[in-house]
Structure formats: structure tokens, C-alpha cells
A and B are shown apart, each in its own frame.
Chain A
Amino acid sequence: MTSLVVLLTLPLVAALAVLALPERRREPLGLLTVAIGLVAALTLAASVWRSGPVLLTLGGWTPPLGIALRADGLAVALILMSALVMSAVALAARFEMRATRVGPRAAFGFWVLMALLWGALNAVYVSRDLFNLYVGIELLSLAAVALVALSGTAKALAAALRYMIFALVGSVLYLAGVVLTYAAHGVLDIGLLAARMPAESDALALGLMTAGLLAKTALFPFHVWLPTAHAAAPAPASALLSALVPKASFLILIRLWFEAMPDLASSAAVMMLAVLGSIAVIWGGVLALVQSRLKLIVAYSTVAQLGYLFLIFPLAGGGGSVQPWSAGAWTGAMFLALSHGLAKAAMFLAAGICIAAVGSDRLGDLRGLVRHLPMTVAALALAAITLAGLPPSGGFTAKYLLMTSALAAGQWPLALVLVGGGLLAAAYLYRPMAALFAREARIAPRPVPRIWQAVPLTLAASAILLGLFSATPFDLLQIGRPEPAEEGL
């Protein structure tokens, strides 16, 4: 329980401290924070592993009066993944977000916003209260929008404004749904809502909350803000935005559909979510294929990868008795969220190194970079293996679980989407690889410290390790897993 309180408060205390303390304390403080946070995440994971979900009633007031938090296997897996990504981003930011490099404004803003973002993520991962989740994603969205604006160019400001409009409309829709839920039942706690007497307005409430969260998760057709926003931010900020931020709103969707109101999941509704997800997989992949800048390819790939997550709705529980593992699709989607987080953060950090080396991320300017930055190119290649779902990566485990569920449930169109999405990913990731491995080199790149290069490589390698040693994270995800994940919606 102590480690949970540490994870909730440490990033917030750090953000306040960075704000109040002089500049020279900023970096050591940031690094100390991620170190403690990583230890706390491991401690919490060990505790959940040993003795099940960790509960915390804030202020000692139990719901419906107070707010309850619960760290289950899924929450703790996301906390751990976020702590890893945060640590990597902090290490990269030591080089990339120096005041001498990006100016005092961006250098100051980055550390504070990163800490706020982390605090908001941890708060959302464990919250069991619909309104508290609203406050959490508000903090998350505002910090994310500010991170997009960090680079200060007119393009970045326009992208940030567009992101903010989508995020705020999403917030209002979500809040309207929360208000309806509270008006009908007088409770906000997910556990209490699961045991509610159904009301006529529940479907509308769930619909509004879902629409709001889809805008924040950037599911097709609400994805239009994502690629420009993620590509406009400085690379360490892009890594946070792409790897972590959409996972929080997706997690709330999971909490709503699988835990609070599984009774409302009609087959038409779940199929509609999966169809939007399928379109996102294909459309994101096609658009990634035609981009000429590495960061935009990586950003469009996020649109596609987020699409896979929505296949969970019709597939969860699919043919549970047929498979050796029950709850295949549910666990598969969670594996995808985790491995995408690690791989995507690695890719953006690697793209940042490329930009530091050659001053551009146009594919034409990256030609032959493998001879100068072998570690960075290796990180990109390993991350690409995960994103394309090739063995033995975490992405492969995820796709395998989703695919077996799709086939067992007889949903062959969704299986085709999984195959097609993988082929598209291989195609759009081939282009930067081909450029990086090209024989001729255009320009002599600036040297990049090896420690900096090791950061994305470690992240990408951990995405592979997630596939190689998938039994432990698999079992962790089953702790406190909701019933409908196994039975199906």
C-alpha cells in the first residue's frame, strides 16, 4: 500500500519541487524521481503478484462517500510499463532537453509536465471512481497538450490547439455520461455500479462516456489530431504521448465495458467498436506507408496499433473453452498495449537520436545511418519487429492471442484485419529500415553519446523480452481480471 501511495504522490511532489527549486536541481531531481518510482512500481507489482490486488480507500472513506483505488494485475502492469518508459525518457531528456539545446522554456516545461503526466497516469490506472477518473484524464490531457506545444513552432502550436479541442470535447462528453450515471444511481464507484439496478439512461451514459474516451484514445475517425500532434512534439515528449497517454483513456473504456456495465454490451455496439478499430488498423497503416518523415510514420503507426486494441470488445472470451488459455483476446490486447508502449517509446527516442545526429528525420536524410549509429538502428529494428508482430516479440504474443481468439470465435474478418495490419506494419516500417541500411551515406552525422543510444535499445529489447518471457506478465494480467474478460461481453 505504501508503494501505491508513493506512485500516486511522488510524481506530483516532484513536479511541484521542479517548479519551486532552482534550475540546477532539476535534472538530479528528475532522475531521482524516476529511480524511486521504478522501485515503487516493482514493489507494488511484487505485492500484487504475491497477495492479489492492492486496495486503498482514500482518507478512510469508503464508497459511495469516498474514493476507492485498486491496483489489479492490469493496473500494475501498466504502472510498471509507464515507469520503464518514464525512466528511459528521463535518461534521454538529460541529453535531448538540455536548456542549451532546446532553450530554457522547453527545458523547464518538459520536466514539470513529464512529472505531471506520470502522476496523472498512475492516478488513472488505479482509480475506481468515474469522477476521479475524469479529473485524472483532465490532468493527463492538459499535460499532454502542453507537451505538444513544447517545441514552440507555429505548426506545433496549431497541432496542440487541435489536440486540445478534441481532448476537451472528449472530456465534456465523458463528464456528461458520468453526470447521467450519478443522477441515475447516486454512486460513482465501478464496483458499486456493477451491482446497480439497470436504469433507462444507462445506455446513453455509457455511449457518451465511450464517445468522449474514443476522441481521447484517437480511434478512427477521431484520430485526425494524433499524427501531427505526436510528430510536432520533441522526441522524448512524443515517446510519452504515443506510448502512454492513449493507454489511459483505453483503460477507462475497459473499466467501463468490462467492469462497470458489462450488461450493456450489445453485440452491435461491440462490433461497431471493433469495426472502427479495424478501419484504424488499415487506414493508419496505409497513411504510415505514404509518409516521408520517420516521426510521422511512427505517429501514424500509433493510429493503427491503437486500432488493434478495440478488437478486444467482440473477441474477449471468444471460444474460451476451445483455447488452452482462457481470456485470450483480453490478455492479448493488454499485451499489445504493453509491448506497443515499450516499442513506440523506443522508436520515438531513436528518432530523436537520428534528428540529433543529422538534424532531420526525412527518410532521404537518414540514408546509411546504420554505420554511424548502429545501436540506434538496432533499437529501431527491434521495435519494428514488435510493431509488426513478428516472433519472438511481445507484439507477436499479443497478435497470437488475438488471432487464436478470432479463429476460435469464428470471426475470420477480424483475423484478416490482424494479418493485414501486420503486413502493412512490415511494409511501412521497411521504408525507414531500407533508408537506414542504405549503402551510400549523404552527410556526416554529428556524434551521439553511447549512453543516450543505449536508452531506446534497452526499451526495444524489453519489448522483445516481453514476448520471450511472456508467462510471468501473462499471469500478472490475470490477477483481479474481470469476469467478462473470460466469459465475453
Chain B
Amino acid sequence: MSLALDLALCALILGVSLAAVAGAGVFRAVIFFITYGLFVAIGWARLGAYDVALAEAAIGAGLTGVLLLTAQGRLRRVQADRTERPGAPLPAALAGGAVTLALAWAWFVLPVPEAPDVAQALPQSGAGNPVTAVLLNFRAWDTLLESIVLLAALLGVWMLARDADWDAPLGPRYHARPSGVLAYFGRVLPPIGLIFGVYLVWAGTETVGGAFQGGTVLAGVVLVAMMAQVLPPPRASKRLLRAALVLGPGVFLLSGLAAAALGGSFLSLSAALAKPAILIIEAALTVSIAVTLALLVIGPAEAPEPAP
């Protein structure tokens, strides 16, 4: 039964990804890409990697989907949403195929990887979920840098603004009919998403979830609220917004430095304080991740288009 399910899932992933790259038309490709993300998320769940599945569904399908649909809308407005030559360019296809074959070969020659031995150190880590223990304690330096990578990406997006628009609110102006579906979702979804997002962060220290997964859900909440015009689009210069962006990486960095100043090594967490410290860092990271991801999706500052 489960084999049949997995085979069907593999066939769907392959078919949908082929449809995304091979067909003509940007809209079609975007829709298939979003579907692809959802199927891949199910695939991760089948492999037991629930943290990855959550991230893939939320970022790979959800936020990226919004981003691509917005881009498609813009292309349509300037009538550039028709691809001239359907399908991928031959060199890229060949290179992609070669890498795929090589990785497939490696999959066959490699031994089944053994799970890294984190069990021994887990009790001292302050987290019951080994993923959280690795992210926030054993390899905290990676996670700290990753949280700053997000910030760098946002700055890159902000730099795309026209100079004249720099002080304008971020992102395009969204229009939602007051009685429409979007406006309805904008009021109903956020409370549910808020609870789910906060739960994911809280539960993440012991079971599936964590700052990245929770932050992504919360970013979705912020986005829906902004698209439904429940939240006004913010300006990049707003102090509160800037504070929310630096809160997570800032708390993470300062706690790491505090550990070094108090006689430990940089980024060390003493076993007694590890659990509360991880929760505080995760809470701060969640705020920054949620705001950064939402702002990444809505894009750079844009002056409202003049009425035609």
C-alpha cells in the first residue's frame, strides 16, 4: 500500500516538475511549480522529515508561490508573460540532466547514512527535538549566519527600489473588495495562523517545529493581512520595522557574546540555562524571520501607480 503511494507520489513529482519547465506560458509554469512544492513537501513527510516538509510547504510552495504569481501579474501587465521558446534551453537541460545522473549514481554507491550521534549530547542541549538542538545549540553559528543571510536578501530586494520611490511604502498596492473572499480570509485566517505559528515555535524545542517553521507561518499571516488591506503596507524607514528585523539576529549574537564574556566560549549555552535561552532566542528569531520573509515577498518600495 505505502509502496504504491510512494510510487504514485514520485510519478506526480516528476510529472508536475516536467509540466512546470516544459510547457509554454508563465502562469502555467507557476501553478505547476506551486503544485510541485506541495508534492515535494508530502515526499519529505513520507521520509519522516517533518521539519523539512513544513518548511518546504510554507516557503517552497506558499511564499514562493505568492512571489511568482505577483511576478506573473506584473509580466502580464506589460504583456511579457508569454515565453517565446517553450522548454528549458538545451545546455541547461543537459547540465541539469548530467548532475541528476551523477547524483543518482552516488545514491546507489553510497551506504545508507547513519544518523549522526546527537543522542549523547541531547540532554545537555536544552532541546528535546534533535533538529532544534542542532540548529540552536550544536551548530548555532550556522543558524546565526542563516538568519543574517535572510536579512542580506531583504536588503538586496530593497536596493531594487527606484530612488524616487525610496520613501514610499513597501510593495505593490493591494486591492481587496470589502465583501470579497480575500477580505474575508484577511480577517479569518490571521488569528488561526497566529496560534498555529506560535504553537510551532513553542513545540519546536521538544517536537516538530521551530523558529523557521513558525516564522514562515506567521509571515503568511502578515502577508494575507496586508493583501486584504487589514494591515497597511509599511515604510522601510519605520523604526519599529527595523527593530523587528534586527531583533532575532541581535538577540542571538548578543547571547553568544554574553556567554563568551561570562567565561564560556562564544555561542555556548550552559546546560542549566540552555532551555530558557533557546526559547528566548527562538522567540526573537521568529519575529525577525516572519517580518523578513513577509517583506521579501512584498518587495521593494514602490510609489503608487498614477491613475490611468
Name A's B-contacting residues (CB within 8 A). 2, 5, 8-9, 12-13, 15-16, 19-20, 56-61, 64-67, 103-106, 109, 112-113, 116, 119-120, 123, 131-132, 135-136, 138-139, 142-143, 145-146, 149-150, 152, 157, 173, 176, 180, 182-184, 186, 199-201, 204-205, 208
Contact assessment for A204 and B102 in the assembled complex, using a CB-CB cutoff below 8 Å:
yes
Contact of A201 (CB < 8 Å), options: B109, B167, B265: B109
Also in contact, A65 and B145, with CB within 8 A (given A105-B166, A186-B116, A199-B110): no
Q: Tell me the complex Cα distance, A20–B109, Å.
A: 50
**Chain A interface, >50% SS class:** helix
Contact assessment for A59 and B145 in the assembled complex, using a CB-CB cutoff below 8 Å:
no
Contact assessment for B138 and A66 in the assembled complex, using a CB-CB cutoff below 8 Å:
yes
Q: Does B97 contact A (CB under 8 A)?
A: no
Name B's A-contacting residues (CB within 8 A). 99, 102-103, 105-106, 109-111, 113-114, 116-118, 121, 137-142, 145-146, 148-149, 151-153, 155-156, 158-163, 166-167, 239, 242-243, 245-246, 249-250, 253, 256-257, 260, 264-269
Contact assessment for B246 and A20 in the assembled complex, using a CB-CB cutoff below 8 Å:
yes
Q: Tell me the complex Cα distance, A333–B266, Å.
A: 33
B269 to chain A, nearest CB (A): 7
Contact of B269 (CB < 8 Å), options: A59, A103, A104, A149: A59
- How many A-B pairs with Cβ below 8 Å? 153
Q: Tell me the complex Cα distance, A301–B161, Å.
A: 31
Q: Can you name 17 A-B pairs with beta carbons within 8 Å?
A: A12-B148, A13-B250, A66-B139, A67-B142, A103-B166, A105-B161, A105-B163, A116-B151, A135-B146, A149-B156, A152-B163, A183-B113, A186-B113, A199-B110, A200-B110, A204-B102, A208-B99
Contact assessment for B137 and A61 in the assembled complex, using a CB-CB cutoff below 8 Å:
yes
| Chain A residues whose C-beta falls within 8 Å of the C-beta of B121 in the assembled complex | 61, 65
Q: Tell me the complex Cα distance, A211–B163, Å.
A: 37
A229 to chain B, nearest CB (A): 13
Q: Tell me the complex Cα distance, A139–B159, Å.
A: 16
Contact of B162 (CB < 8 Å), options: A67, A113, A131, A152: A152
Contact assessment for B116 and A64 in the assembled complex, using a CB-CB cutoff below 8 Å:
yes
Also in contact, A16 and B250, with CB within 8 A (given A56-B265, A59-B137): yes
| Chain A residues whose C-beta falls within 8 Å of the C-beta of B264 in the assembled complex | 60
| Chain B residues whose C-beta falls within 8 Å of the C-beta of A200 in the assembled complex | 109-110
Q: Tell me the complex Cα distance, A140–B121, Å.
A: 32
A153 to chain B, nearest CB (A): 10
Contact assessment for B242 and A184 in the assembled complex, using a CB-CB cutoff below 8 Å:
no
| Chain B residues whose C-beta falls within 8 Å of the C-beta of A9 in the assembled complex | 253, 256-257, 266
